[in-house]
């Protein structure tokens, strides 16, 4: 009796794990495709750290959450911001100085692991968001893989196929159990 209860609990755990994995994969892939880049969740953008310039704060390959900022001229020294560079690449560095010039605001930035300041100050209008304090180490490698065409296919198909196979095994086991129950009833009737 205990064996059946343990098997049922394990079966439920496996089913939920496979189902949630499939849902998470669908979310990551669709969110990445829809935003044209990094996935978004509850108003936060999830960015992949591609270099070691902010180590040890962010490890290369980590995912960080970035919250879009309404008033980009209100940021202060010490804030970690994600901004667009002149070559349209995204960078996440720390503000080391706020430069006010009339109505214009610029930020001098630097990576925590870099010796030198960034060569060009960042215009306030080029700031996309501010680090929201949430990091998942190494998940960025996975997200980058999920955004590739092979990754998309694998991450949607594999959990779905595993869930189908596991469902088939569960149905087969249930049918086998029903057959045993019917055989036991027939044996008891003839005895």
Q: Which residues are catalytic?
A: 51
- Cα(155)–Cα(21) distance, integer angstroms: 9
Instruction: Work out the end-to-end distance of the chain between its first and last CA atoms, rounded to an integer number of angstroms.
Output: 25
């Amino acid at each position: 009796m205990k064996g059946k209860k343990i098997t049922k609990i394990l079966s439920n755990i496996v089913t939920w794990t496979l189902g949630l994995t499939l849902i998470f994969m669908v979310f990551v892939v669709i969110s990445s495709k829809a935003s044209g880049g990094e996935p978004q969740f509850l108003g936060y953008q999830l960015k992949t750290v591609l270099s070691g310039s902010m180590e040890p704060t962010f490890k290369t390959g980590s995912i960080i959450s970035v919250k879009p900022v309404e008033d980009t001229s209100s940021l202060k020294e010490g804030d970690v911001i994600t901004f667009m560079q002149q070559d349209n690449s995204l960078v996440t560095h720390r503000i080391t100085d706020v430069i006010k010039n009339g109505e214009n605001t610029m930020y001098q930035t630097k990576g925590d692991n870099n010796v030198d300041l960034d060569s060009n100050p960042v215009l306030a209008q080029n700031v996309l968001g501010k680090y929201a304090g949430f990091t998942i180490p190494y998940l960025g490698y996975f997200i980058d893989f999920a955004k590739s065409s092979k990754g998309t296919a694998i991450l949607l198909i594999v959990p779905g196929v595993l869930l189908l196979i596991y469902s088939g095994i569960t149905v087969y086991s249930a049918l086998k159990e029903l057959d045993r129950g019917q055989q036991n009833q027939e044996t008891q009737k003839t005895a």
